[in-house]
Amino acid sequence: MLKIIGVVTSGGDAPVMNAAILGVVRIAHSKSFQVLGFERGWEGLLTNTFRRLTPRSVSGIVRLGGTFLLTSRSPEFHKKEGIKRATETLILNNVDGLVVIGGDGSFRGALELSRETDALIVGVPATIDNDVFGTEETIGFDTAINTAVAEIDKIRDTAISHERIFIVEVMGRRRGFIALTVGVTAGAEIILVPEVDVPQAEPGGSLAR
């Protein structure tokens, strides 16, 4: 019996997402599975919008940034009615398994969906924030680090030339993995991360205890 695998990229995009899609398609093809790529994240499941993926159709996407399946935030999906519609889409297309490529929020949605469907669901951690438990490094984190360090190297030249202190803010949402790794790599004097409270300065310049 033909097996059908769905793949979805949800939430914020991350570098190398396309490589993950390519890997899913190639492995599925080697097992004679059919692959459906749902477009625009969870919206594709709500609207039954997908494209059939083959090794030929994903050839060359590894060189592209972001995700060629597109992605978006879908508040509707996280409602009870949205989960029901997504479940109906999986049943309508005889999907046996769903590969979710995304971060923490995507996996929370996948967990809710798994409670309503018989389709097997597996997550591929992809987020520059590196905030997915159970993996040392998520897809996109390394690229984010290298990009930030390269830019800070340029900023340092200007800081030295003008004898100034530069403050650099990086992404990471509520986690300081990018800030900490970039700061150590680039030789920052001070690194501030969300996980560590910083004392507030009192009038006059001394730090409040």
- Residue carrying the six token digits 């097996």: 3
* Positions marked active-site: 129
Residue 109, C-beta contacts closer than 8 angstroms, at least 6 positions apart? 10, 42, 77, 78, 100
What's the rounded Cα separation, in Å, for the pair 38 and 24?
13
Give the residue from 94, 129, 90, 130 showing the smallest Cα distance to 8: 90
CA distance readout (Å), 118 to 88, 95, 97, 121, 167:
11, 9, 9, 9, 50
Angle between helices 104-114 and 80-92 (to 10 degrees): 70
